[in-house]
Structure 1
Amino acid sequence: MRPLALILLTCSVLTSAGLAQTPIEAIPYLGQTPPGNTPVIFAPGVISKGNIHSRLEISSDGREMYWNTVDMSTFSTQILSVCIVDGKWSSPEPPAFAQGGNSQAATFSPDGKKLFFRIDAGDGWVARYVERTAAGWSAPRSDGHMLKASSSFTTAGRVYFSSTMTTKVWNSGIFGARYAAEGYADIVPLDETINVPQAIDYTPYISPDESFLLFASNRPRLDDKEDLYVHVSFHQSDGSWSAPRRVCDIQARFPSLSPDGKYLFFCGDDGNIYWVDATLVDALKDG
């Protein structure tokens, strides 16, 4: 196992796209100007390079970011990360635990002490995780349970994810479950308010308090067109979900929230990460 400090010190210092030789100080969100109510590309030329196919996963303290790229010519994927080193942001590089093969879907556990991900073992994808120790991340481990696609955890340990639903386009629907020692328990598909038959509904992200669900959908087009947009549905007092509403008019998938809840991130159809003020989501609840 390589201690985290040693891993991080091997990273070169990240430089600003506007000032090519100026290190980016360890300030929130790589020093990017916070967005308003219009989505803008996040960290263009640094993180966003037109080849991302995942959500942006940010540690609770904001000092680490993970995402994965895709090479469409080979469909190979690679987890990349940036982190703060000696008061500066590191350059995007594969983390030590995700080197030497295809990797994807980095996802923090609710307490932030584990980072789940998937690797290509040669005969299929397998789930792994690393755990925070006094020295940094542990070596990759397996708990024997397959990480479901696009898993997203609540603070209380509920998990929402994409999985097989044969009545839907791409055979993919959105499910909820309880995450326990034995893995995913009490798995149930969300109702047809979320899982519209013959529609594409996937890449869910649940808010930490389970008050709203973000996901990508091609509704109201019930066909195989990949015109996907981020939608939001709010959890009602009776346990039902409100009718989903489109968040913005950018084709996108893989939504997520910043750990402070201030910003909504998503991956645009152009392979770039966008961010926007999260009050845009709140306004849809009251609209």
Structure 2
Amino acid sequence: MKLVYHSIPLVLLAVAFSNAVYSKNKLPSIEGPYFGQTPPGMTPEVFAPDIVSKEHRDWTGWFTPDMKEYYFTRNNRKARTSTKMMLKLVDGQWHEQVLDSGIGGSISPDGKTMHSGNTYRVRTDKGWSEPKSLGAAFKDIPIMVLSVSSNGTYIFDEREVTGTIRYSRLINGKRETPKAFGKQINSGKWTAHPFVAPDESYIIWDSEREGGYGKTDLYISFQIKDGVWSEAINLGDKINTPGPDTGAVVSPDGKYLFFNRKFSEDDSDIMWIDAKVIEQLRPKM
């Protein structure tokens, strides 16, 4: 695996992604957790403006469990480019890396596996391995996003018009055949981009369905008992807007909910909000 690594601090980088030209930037030194950003409250805010969220269609990223790496995608519709990015904490200073195409995706709770579509990579002493197949049971499913729990359960969608969210558990060390969730989750015109909590207590995904606030809203379902899921709960009008709100991810420390908000055809930003919003919606047992 080849990485294009730039040892210059992020403060000095202004990236022209189409030709990898770098020049100085006036940003202050980028240090500390979450790129030195002031944490949000119960109202969503743009995450790391001019560092992560720029004038592109930036897509929700994933932190590694040690919070020292952040993987995300930067799409430039005008230039017709899609660039895999990583921000890496080195000696207390964040640095920016442009990754080879294909690297990037969801990170497992233990930080040892990266999932992208129908493939996965494992962490090695030299970085990430070459992609490996998920196996025959998954080869004909056009997976977009796969999220994995601490127990190894896969929750994933498919690249279709309406989409279907499925799961596959590890039972006695063997991977079961993928199964579709019920109508609590698989309802509406569009169902995609699932995130499962490490303890499998909830799933967040986006869907276009009746009663929503916009084109695509974020929903959550809580696991009431083993294999039984609550009805979908809309995350509310503070998170969901008339436009598409998609791609939810909760930080490894469980403190913040990240998601993607589209402002125009050429611009979407990564948003974040205090993860207490999840607990406020959790059914009282």
Q: Secondary structure at the match of 1:204?
A: strand
Cα distance 1:204–1:50, how it changes in 2: closer, same or farther (>3 A)? farther
User: Can you list the C-alpha shifts for 1:47-71, whole angstroms capped at 9, x where unaligned?
Assistant: 0014235331110010100011223
| 1:284 equivalent in alignment to 2:258 | no
Partner of residue 123, structure 1 = none
Q: Secondary structure at the match of 1:30?
A: helix
Aligned partners of 1:163 and 1:28: how far apart in 2? 33
Cα distance 1:164–1:77, how it changes in 2: closer, same or farther (>3 A)? closer
Cα distance 1:105–1:231, how it changes in 2: closer, same or farther (>3 A)? farther
| 1:205 equivalent in alignment to 2:186 | no
For the 8 Å contact 1:79–1:106, the answer to whether it is kept is: no
Amino acid in structure 2 at the alignment position of 1:272: D
Amino acid in structure 2 at the alignment position of 1:194: I
User: Please, what TM-score do these two structures have when normalized by structure 1?
Assistant: 0.79
Alpha-carbon distance, 1:249 to partner: 2.5
Partner of residue 29, structure 2 = 23
Q: Secondary structure at the match of 2:53?
A: coil
Count how many residue pairs are aligned between Structure 1 and Structure 2: 259
Cα distance 1:173–1:67, how it changes in 2: closer, same or farther (>3 A)? same
Partner of residue 98, structure 2 = 94
Aligned partners of 2:50 and 2:37: how far apart in 1? 12
Moved over 6 A (4+): none
Q: Secondary structure at the match of 2:169?
A: strand
Q: Secondary structure at the match of 1:90?
A: strand
Alpha-carbon distance, 1:86 to partner: 2.3
Cα distance 1:144–1:243, how it changes in 2: closer, same or farther (>3 A)? closer
Amino acid in structure 2 at the alignment position of 1:217: S
For the 8 Å contact 1:55–1:67, the answer to whether it is kept is: yes
| 1:177 equivalent in alignment to 2:202 | no
User: Among 148, 160, 163, which residue is 1:153 paired with?
Assistant: 148
Amino acid in structure 2 at the alignment position of 1:153: V
Alpha-carbon distance, 1:171 to partner: 3.4
| 1:258 equivalent in alignment to 2:264 | no
Partner of residue 210, structure 2 = 220
Q: Secondary structure at the match of 1:282?
A: helix
Please provide the CA RMSD for this pair: 3.1
Alpha-carbon distance, 1:221 to partner: 6.0
User: Can you list the C-alpha shifts for 1:15-38, whole angstroms capped at 9, x where unaligned?
Assistant: 299x9253212x110010011000
For the 8 Å contact 2:123–2:129, the answer to whether it is kept is: no
Amino acid in structure 2 at the alignment position of 1:127: T
Amino acid in structure 2 at the alignment position of 1:12: I
Alpha-carbon distance, 1:108 to partner: 1.6
For the 8 Å contact 2:156–2:193, the answer to whether it is kept is: yes
For the 8 Å contact 2:65–2:109, the answer to whether it is kept is: no
User: Can you list the C-alpha shifts for 1:217-249, whole angstroms capped at 9, x where unaligned?
Assistant: 112169xx9711111111112522212122123
Cα distance 1:86–1:142, how it changes in 2: closer, same or farther (>3 A)? same
Cα distance 1:28–1:38, how it changes in 2: closer, same or farther (>3 A)? same
Aligned partners of 2:175 and 2:143: how far apart in 1? 9
| 1:83 equivalent in alignment to 2:88 | yes
For the 8 Å contact 2:63–2:251, the answer to whether it is kept is: yes
Partner of residue 260, structure 2 = 267
Q: Secondary structure at the match of 1:15?
A: helix
Aligned partners of 1:188 and 1:75: how far apart in 2? 35
Aligned partners of 1:104 and 1:200: how far apart in 2? 26
Aligned partners of 1:54 and 1:153: how far apart in 2? 19
Alpha-carbon distance, 1:109 to partner: 3.0
Instruction: Point out the more displaced range, 59-68 or 47-56.
Output: 47-56
For the 8 Å contact 1:54–1:105, the answer to whether it is kept is: no
* Identical columns (%): 27
For the 8 Å contact 1:152–1:204, the answer to whether it is kept is: yes
Amino acid in structure 1 at the alignment position of 2:57: I
Amino acid in structure 1 at the alignment position of 2:34: Y
Aligned partners of 1:210 and 1:202: how far apart in 2? 17
Aligned partners of 1:159 and 1:75: how far apart in 2? 31
Cα distance 1:52–1:132, how it changes in 2: closer, same or farther (>3 A)? same
Aligned partners of 1:190 and 1:74: how far apart in 2? 38
Aligned partners of 1:70 and 1:158: how far apart in 2? 30
